[in-house]
Structure 1
Amino acid sequence: MRHSPRLKPLFHPGRLLITTPSALAALRENGVPIISVMLRHIAGDWGTVSDDDKRQNDLSITAGLRLLSIHPLPDQTRIVVVTERSRVNTIVERLDTRNR
């Protein structure tokens, strides 16, 4: 029997807020449970953010600053996860690249 590795949380994410209905719709359309994105985020898997942002996140865990991760879905929609400095809330939204 194979055991998958257990992800160790690096910080408390606070309350989960999905601020854009399109984020929840994109997760559902791609068959990706929100919990899988959250587990990656709190375990320090920052997804596709820049190397500078990854280093900043790693420092921000102990410094108590904002944390950011971006996770592409199978259809290439990108989901952004932001944990506030206060660790009261973690916000999940869909990254809209149409205007970029």
Structure 2
Amino acid sequence: MNQPARLKPLFYPGRLCVTPAAHTALHSHGIPVISVVMQHVCGNWGDIPDDDRRQNDLSVTTGLRLLSSYRLPDATRIWVITEWDRSTTTILLPDEY
């Protein structure tokens, strides 16, 4: 999660949902949920392939689903998914998808 920060939000995340497992993982590392959300809405997509990064950049303007992936210090992955209509953003572990 150590990426240069863009400070301007690119989209509205809608309703925020966090699974209990994702909340526990973040809390165990002292990472506030809001910091993950801010990375996501500012276009810092985390640890995803370049093709997915380009797709997210395009999806911001075309209204498609957005996916970010962040690696915690213990190598646990956290996904952040915003639905195409921007109604909901969910923070979860990949195996909860």
Distance 1:21 1:29 in 2: 12
Alignment of 1:1-100 (within 5 A): 7-18=7-18, 20-96=19-95
**Which 4+ stretches in 1 moved above 2 angstroms?**
none
Whichever structure has more helix as a proportion of its residues is 2
The runs of 5 or more residues in structure 2 that have no matched partner are none
Is the contact made by 1:77 and 1:95 (CA closer than 8 Å) also made in structure 2? no
2:8–2:42 contact (8 Å) kept in structure 1? yes
Aligned residues: 91
TM-score of the superposed pair, with normalisation by structure 2: 0.89
Would the aligned equivalents of 2:66 and 2:82 in 1 still touch at CA under 8 Å? yes
Q: CA RMSD in A?
A: 1.2
Per the normalisation by structure 1, the TM-score is 0.87
Return the alpha-carbon distance in structure 1 between the equivalents of residues 6 and 56 of structure 2: 21
Q: Give the share of equivalent positions with the same residue, in percent.
A: 57
Give the whole-Å Cα distance in 1 for the aligned partners of 2:65 and 2:16: 15
User: CA offset at residue 94 of structure 1?
Assistant: 1.3
